[in-house]
Amino acid sequence: MNPLIITAALVGAEVSREDTPHLPVTPEEIGESAAQAREAGASIAHIHVRDKAGRPSQDRELYRQAIREIRKRCDIIIQVSTGGAVGMTAEERLQPVTLQPEMATLTTGTVNFADGVFYNPPGDIRRFAKEMRHYGVKPEFEIFDVGMVGTAKHLVEKGWVTGPLHFDFVMGVPGGIPAGGKHLLHLIDQLPEGSTWSVAGIGRYQLPMSALGIALGGHVRVGLEDNLYYRKGELATNTQLVARVQRIASELERKTAVPEEARSILGLPSLKEVR
Ligand code: KMH
Ligand code: ZN
């Protein structure tokens, strides 16, 4: 099987330090958490940033600092969020794309998100895709429900996104597609030939969905953005969550990709060419 890409979703926007003391919030903490996740087997760091009060932010300068802190320490692929937090405007959310990170998320539809609405109307989706193309940023399609795959394919048909395509199925958000094997197989079925995919299970679904992703030849996203617990009642660190996936993959005879291998699988240029 192809080497496994583990994405570490280190921060997120919905979790706070009150929920867990292990959440990285400052640029230095995000840099340190990314380096530890890389050491444990992650090849992509999916990041959000926080302001001084720990609130979710999409501030370009904060992203610049976080990216610098990560790069000081390691070669992990840096993927910024353009989802931000529920309620943010498109302008706010797009800020980190202008820093030309290697990757950014692109959600291709609106979805209820617990008590809020994660708003992604067609005009915004097109705008996000075009900005990413303009700045040379590879999108990761963030799929919270089945219809979003069709919208992603439409962007490709129009030429606003070009391959190779990468999808992340976020499963188990209240309001989105439930986490489960049948739903995952259905999502995989919708993908254009040659696409790569990863799966992120929310909360207690993180572990079983990771195991399915490994076994089915896909890739896996874990981290505190999606799940706070190692097991019931026991808070996790990002490193522990990544290391567990690495161990399961190893038991299943699936090698874990280092960042340069992940770049090659995803069709990204080598870091040496970027630097
Ligand atoms: N915080 C969610 C509303 C992304 O990073 O692109 C959206 C999100 C997805 O986290
Ligand atoms: Zn995110």
Residue 41 sits in a domain whose CATH number is: 3.20.20.70
pTM: 0.98
Ligand 1 environment, Cβ below 6 A: 12-14, 81-83, 85-86, 105, 107, 113, 118, 142
Identify which of 11, 92, 105 to mutate to test ligand 1's pocket (most ligand atoms within 8 A of the CB): 105
- Decide if 16 is inside a domain: yes
Q: Give the number of whichever ligand sits closest to the CA of residue 88.
A: 1
Cα(93) to ligand 1 centroid in Å equals: 10
Query: What is the pLDDT tens value at each position of the chain, 275 positions in all?
Result: 899 999 999 999 999 999 999 999 999 999 999 999 999 999 999 999 999 999 999 999 999 999 999 999 999 999 999 999 999 999 999 999 999 999 999 999 999 999 999 999 999 999 999 999 999 999 999 999 999 999 999 999 999 999 999 999 999 999 999 999 999 999 999 999 999 999 999 999 999 999 999 999 999 999 999 999 999 999 999 999 999 999 999 999 999 999 999 999 999 999 988 65
- Asked if the structure places residue 1 within a domain, the reply is no
Task: With respect to residue 75, please indicate whether it lies within any of the assigned structural domains.
Answer: yes
d(C-alpha 72, C-alpha 190), whole Å: 39
**Using alpha carbons only, how large is the chain's radius of gyration in Å?**
17
Residue 275's pLDDT is 56
Q: How many domains does the chain have?
A: 1
pLDDT at 272: 86
Neighbours of 22 (CB within 10 A): 18
Q: The tokens of 190 are what?
A: 């919708």
pLDDT at 55: 98
Which of the ligands is closest to the CA of residue 83?
Answer: 1
Nearest CA owner, ligand 1 atom 7? 83
Identify whether 121 is part of a domain. Answer: yes
Find the 222 Cα to ligand 1 centroid distance in Å: 14
**Residue 156 maps to a domain:** yes
Read off the pLDDT of residues 184-218 as tens digits, 9 standing for 90 and up.
Answer: 999 999 999 999 999 999 999 999 999 999 999 99
For residue 58, the enclosing domain spans: 6-274
